[in-house]
Amino acid sequence: MSRGGVVVARALAKDVRVEATPATGTPTPAAPPGTAPDDRSVGRRLARLTTEVLAPSVLVTVMPLVIAARATGSLGGLLRWGGAALFFCAVVPIGVIVYGVRRGWLTDRHIGDHTQRLRPLGLGLTSVAVGIALLAAFDPPRLLFALMVATLVNGAAVTAVNHWWKLSVHVATAAGSVIILILVFGAALHALWPLVAAVAWSRVRLRDHTLAQVIAGATVGVPLTAVTFLALT
């Protein structure tokens, strides 16, 4: 091979990159030079935005307030009951994750490494269980109480599966939230299902999950949440 050919070969070799797929650990070659990097960048940015806006931490913060407002119909009820549910279902669980990230025993706030999920998710579920026990003593609004129990049941199932396999918590939470909104506000909110599909797409696009893992998230989240919620309302 000529000297020029050797230089070209070395340059091409430097351009080949291999990145690990977080969901499977299987090496995946990066796109060859000149294959629409702008499209890939836009796609990843959109996926990241979707993942952040519809993250479990966002949904568990919003849902208690929405359901409390519906159940009580008053600002006082929203602040009293919604605030209590928010503390146990969102503030404490999210605080545990933030603390874990800052202390270094969690890789990131989405807990991308499923082997790290048992401890923080378990502590979060303990907080929800304590909240349920305390609120039960004060005759809480039925819809809000059902939401908290459904959150606990769905979360426990997802946590158990994640001990062995990286089922998507994002999709399970999004799907569970949508089915509760449909049950509370009516069939018109079936229009929200594309948001669940968007979350699933974003998790696969970011290579945080496989297609099977996001499908499993919806498969677990919808029936468990619906059955639990309906049983209590």
Structure tokens at 71: 């159940």
Q: Is the pLDDT of residue 25 over 70?
A: no
Question: What average pLDDT does the segment 115-124 reach?
Answer: 92
* C-alpha–C-alpha distance, residues 128 and 102, integer Å: 23
Kindly list the domain boundaries of the chain, sorted by start residue.
56-232
**pLDDT tens digits, residue range 161-216?**
998 999 999 999 999 999 999 999 999 999 999 999 999 999 999 999 999 999 99
Question: What average pLDDT does the segment 89-116 reach?
Answer: 92
More confident residue, 126 or 9: 126
* C-alpha–C-alpha distance, residues 185 and 85, integer Å: 20
pLDDT value of position 32: 44
pLDDT value of position 23: 52
For a pLDDT cut of 90, what percent of the chain falls above it?
Answer: 76
pLDDT value of position 40: 63
Residue of 155, 82, 150 lying closest to 120 (CA atoms): 155
Q: In angstroms, what is the C-alpha Rg of the chain?
A: 21
* C-alpha–C-alpha distance, residues 58 and 102, integer Å: 19
Q: Is the pLDDT of residue 26 over 80?
A: no
Q: Is the pLDDT of residue 3 over 60?
A: no
Structure tokens at 84: 């209590």
DSSP codes of every residue in the chain: --HHHHHHHHHHHHH--EEE-TTT--EEEPPPTTS-HHHHHHHHHHHHHHHHHT-HHHHHHHHHHHHHHHHH-SHHHIIIIIHHHHIIIIIHHHHHHHHHHHHTSSSSTT--SGGGSHHHHHHHHHHHHHHHHHHHTT---HHHHHHHHHHHHHHHHHHHHHTTS---HHHHHHHHHHHHHHHHH-GGGGGGHHHHHHHHHHHHHTTSS-HHHHHHHHHHHHHHHHHHHHHH-
109: confidence class by pLDDT, cuts 50, 70, 90: confident
Q: Is the pLDDT of residue 46 over 50?
A: yes
- For the stretch 35-43, contacts whose Cβ atoms lie closer than 8 Å and that sit 24 or more positions apart, written own/partner, are 43/205
Tokens 């890789």 label which residue? 107
- Phi then psi for 167, rounded to 5 degrees? -60, 145
* C-alpha–C-alpha distance, residues 65 and 83, integer Å: 7
Lowest-pLDDT choice from 35-44, 51-60, 92-101, 150-159: 35-44
Mean pLDDT of the chain: 87
**pLDDT tens digits, residue range 135-152?**
999 999 999 999 999 999
